[in-house]
Amino acid sequence: MLTCPAAEMVDGSKVLYFEQAFWRTPQKPFRQRFYMVKPCPKELKCDVEVGSYAIRDADEYKNFCDRSKDQRPLPEEVIGDIAEHLTTIHLKRCDRGKRCLYEGSTPPGGFPNSWNGANYCTSELAILKNNETHTWDRGYDDGGKSGLGSERRTLRVQACTSFKCQ
């Protein structure tokens, strides 16, 4: 998985590009998203809000993070390519002494998703102090049976550039 800055909104929100590929075919991502990161609204009991959005023309963004800036879509094009809102995760600062900076999950009941036979999905997210991100995505059918994602393990994402992790 790779994530890198893509644009900044007028309100100061940061737009990150995210792609996930199998390690044998990193040039062919099977999941691409924009994440919009901003402070939580005051009425919510959280510190950071991470919204996940579809990309209007995802093929145009393949390997976005590995391209030089002059080979990427411009920030105003990125903003124009933000499509359907998929879900939002609200993160809170982690308690002192924990390895994480922020952690949170999707709202109760998750969000609609039809991938791999699922009817809805849930996500948990932790941003660690060592620049790693741990995410745990799971999909369920109407009966609550898991059909997508790991039952016991989170996906560990390290800070990477050009597919070489630090």
Question: Looking at residue 163, what is its pLDDT?
Answer: 39
What's the whole-model pTM score?
0.79
In the chain, domain spans = 2-165
User: Read out DSSP for the chain?
Assistant: -EEEEEEE-TTS-EEEEEEE--TT-TTS-SEEEEEEEEEPPTTSS-SEEEEEEEETTGGGGTTGGGS-GGGSPPHHHHHHTEEEEEEEEEEEEPPTTSSEEEEEEPPTT-EE--GGG-SEEEEEEEEETTS-EEEEEEEE-TTS-EEES-SS-PEEE--EETTEE-
Mean pLDDT of the chain: 83
CATH pick for 2-165 out of 3.30.420.40, 3.40.50.920, 2.160.20.60, 2.40.128.590? 2.40.128.590
pLDDT tens for each residue of 17-36: 999 888 888 889 988 999 99
pLDDT tens for each residue of 75-128: 999 999 999 998 899 999 999 999 999 999 988 777 777 766 778 888 888 888
Question: Looking at residue 51, what is its pLDDT?
Answer: 92
